[in-house]
Amino acid sequence: MLLSLKQHKRIVAKIEALQTRRNLVKEQLQPIKLLLDQFRQSVLAPAFRGDLTKDWCEQNTNVEPASKLITSNYKASNKLPISWCEALVKDVVENLKY
């Protein structure tokens, strides 16, 4: 069954209104996306440098490093770089200490 011209125009008008609204929302979200990108960088950079846990590590010197805990349960694979080791995620998570 074919739509009448009136129904067709109503559908087209609705689609155009939705596209306009989508474009407006997209424009409004752009600054938020930039803020999120900046926030991620401001958190990730210090995290990878160890800045976020530096004070905790200095106060908790008796805690074994994760690499030692992991290597005590697993041997290094010949396929991995020498400083890497294989581990199950569950074992890493179980040994996390805050």
> Full-prediction pTM beyond 0.75?
no
In terms of DSSP H, where are the helices of 50-61? 54-59
**Buried b or exposed e, range 3-31, using 16+ CB within 10 angstroms:** eeeeeeeeeeeeeeeeeeeeeeeeeeeee
Domain spans, the chain:
1-61, 63-98
Sequential pLDDT tens for the chain (98 residues): 788 999 999 999 999 999 999 999 999 999 999 999 999 889 888 888 888 888 988 888 888 777 776 666 556 556 777 777 777 788 777 767 65
The closest alpha carbon to 86, from 51, 56, 95, 73, belongs to 73
Q: Which amino acid is at 73?
A: N
